[in-house]
Structure 1
Amino acid sequence: MKRLSFQVEPGRVTAFLGPNGAGKTTTMRMMLGLDRPTDGEVLISGRSYARIQEPLRHVGALLDPAAVHPGRRARDQLLVLARSNRIPDVRVDDMLDRVGLAGAARRRIGGFSLGMRQRLGLAAALLGDPQVLILDEPLNGLDPEGIQWIRNLLRELADDGRVVLSSSHLMNEMAVTADHLVIIGRGRLLADVSMTEFSARYGHGRVRLRTTRPERLGRALAAEGFTLTATKGGLWEVLEAQPDQIGAIAAREGVPLQELQPHSDSLEEAFLRMTAGSAEFTAAAGREALT
């Protein structure tokens, strides 16, 4: 981490994003006192995690769903946590039911799928009815029903006034779940903005089209300062342009257009563009441009 500083506010879902190797998990581990920063501190409601008495009543966390003894039964795993934090046993059964594992309460964790372990980890995070939730990739291993359930759960927790910080690589899910984004790259803060502000600041408008004469249209657009670029499915696109501008140039040149529509960047597209210089691991890719 390199002078990384941000706040996570209650009442909203904050997505913690960054390329692989950016430092998201390390930062979350520091929040929970599992790793120590060489400088600075992490405070939760004004205190370090180590100074919080009965921490499960204040902070719920899911970092590694596999970090449990495989021979232990699901209910016993939660009972150990509950009794160490003076949480009533009845809360264990309530949480198993809430995450959909009531029928697997007496099964050994070693036989659980990744999705079931995620649900058990979430049950542990919610066990003490905490005001702060720190979740590292909670969507991993979940089926579509499970992903929708998590989406609704995070929204419910935030609407209840809790602090919700969740990392994820599933940008499409964060686009419909998160209110606020904290994005890091190589340990540095890249953005700390609302979802609306991020889209306005980093998203690019563009026009997508289909034509049988891309070479001719590409030359005409280049003369006007635009670049026609190939994209998926036989479509072409022009950045920072409006459909009426492109349509007028095509009509003037006698270029037929089978399709012409405006397009705004998704969260994933804007994120990839923003973090292109901060990714530790990237694959080669090529795109063809006509000028």
Structure 2
Amino acid sequence: MATKEDRPTRVSIDVRDLSKRYGSTVAVEQLTFRVEPGRVTGFLGPNGAGKSTTMRMMIGLDRPTGGEVLIGGRPYSQIREPLREVGALLDPSAVHPGRRARDQLLVLARSNRIPDRRVDVMLDRVGLAGAARRRLGEFSLGMRQRLGLAAALLGEPRVLILDEPLNGLDPEGIQGVRGLLRELAEGGRVVLVSSHLMNEMAVTADHLVVIGRGRLLADVSMTDFGARYGRGRVRLRTTRPERLGRALIAEGLTPAPAKGGAWEVADAQPDRIGVVAARERVPLQELALRSDSLEEAFLRLTAVSTDFTAEFTTDSGRKGAPE
């Protein structure tokens, strides 16, 4: 069993000049950042940005072409009982379909000298106590995600590396994982989680690391990310939009139609628009400053780093949302 001397007093994930190439394809390029304890760090990037590859290199599943990843000052390969130090969920489907849920966790527990009773505790914590004897081939994606989280938490590790842990979960499951991540971070653990669910990251993450085409784009707090990469806009409604619109354009502003009969003006402040409206004697029914959502700021930041894009169109050829 690992002793206190084996476990560093302060743990972080240090990614240093990390690179990974597959032939002529660059997956990760000189990536450097640190994941600190005590906060949830969201790991974001477009499809193909290199997030999963980076996480695989963190736990030794892929070998870097250059650079290194240290966890608590050591490579993952030098951690004697890894489940006690690092909990990882990268692919919930990487299990034998004929194995029962409890047996899957028992194998992991015994290989790291974790007491059997911990298996039952974790099955209950992730809501799978009633499915402990079921075979994994019968599990839905959401159930496999829950089992993967139980495996990641089995050894009470101080570092968690989770790749898209919310995929396949129902609203109750998402809410439960959100609360769990917050609880673990507040308890002083290192929590790194990737997700495409920007609304969830907005309410869960304290810090963001954003990559695109394998390179670092941002390493900032959630608050600073919005201030740095978001755009402010003013939402307004008036009974005389044409008159106010002409006046705003004359001031160098660009009003655009918005939902609900309102208008939005980018890169403006409400007081400036209020002055123009007063001068033109135009009544205002609504005047409010609106900031970009995390999703909008993320899309703006990563627009030039997206390898896979598409314009979804309806059958009539008009752009629309995919069904």
Taking a change above 3 Å as real, the CA distance of residues 212 and 71 of structure 1, as seen in their structure-2 partners, is farther
The residue aligned with 2:113 is 86
The residue aligned with 1:124 is 151
TM-score calculated relative to the size of structure 2 = 0.85
- The 2-side partners of 1:266 and 1:240 are apart by 15
The residue aligned with 1:155 is 182
| Seq. identity, % | 80
Question: How big is the shift at 1:254?
Answer: 4.4
- State the Cα RMSD in Å: 1.8
Taking a change above 3 Å as real, the CA distance of residues 246 and 168 of structure 1, as seen in their structure-2 partners, is same
CA deviation vs aligned residue, 1:184-203 (integer Å, no higher than 9, x gap): 01100001111121122122
CA deviation vs aligned residue, 1:98-156 (integer Å, no higher than 9, x gap): 11100110011111111111100000000011010000011111111111111110011
- Which residue identity lines up with residue 104 of structure 1 in the other structure? A
User: Given the alignment, which residue of 89, 108, 124 partners 1:97?
Assistant: 124
Matched ranges for 1:1-291 at <5 A: 1-211=28-238, 213-284=240-311
- The 1-side partners of 2:204 and 2:68 are apart by 28
DSSP 3-state at the match of 2:93: coil
Moved more, 9-18 or 206-215: 206-215
TM-score calculated relative to the size of structure 1 = 0.94
- The 1-side partners of 2:262 and 2:82 are apart by 54
Taking a change above 3 Å as real, the CA distance of residues 201 and 208 of structure 1, as seen in their structure-2 partners, is same
- The 2-side partners of 1:213 and 1:35 are apart by 61
Question: How big is the shift at 1:176?
Answer: 1.2
DSSP 3-state at the match of 1:262: strand
- Which residue identity lines up with residue 153 of structure 1 in the other structure? L
Moved more, 230-239 or 95-104: 230-239
- Which residue identity lines up with residue 206 of structure 1 in the other structure? R
Question: How big is the shift at 1:255?
Answer: 4.0
- Which residue identity lines up with residue 213 of structure 2 in the other structure? R
The residue aligned with 2:16 is none
- Which residue identity lines up with residue 118 of structure 2 in the other structure? R
Moved more, 264-273 or 162-171: 264-273
- The 1-side partners of 2:165 and 2:262 are apart by 35
Moved more, 58-67 or 264-273: 264-273
DSSP 3-state at the match of 2:296: helix
Moved more, 227-236 or 127-136: 227-236
Moved >6 Å (runs of 4+) = none
- The 2-side partners of 1:232 and 1:278 are apart by 29
- Which residue identity lines up with residue 219 of structure 1 in the other structure? R
CA deviation vs aligned residue, 1:3-40 (integer Å, no higher than 9, x gap): 10111011111000111111101100010111111111
- The 2-side partners of 1:212 and 1:278 are apart by 42
Structure 1 segments unaligned to the other structure (5+ residues): none
- The 1-side partners of 2:101 and 2:113 are apart by 18
Question: How big is the shift at 1:250?
Answer: 2.8
Aligned length, in residue pairs: 287
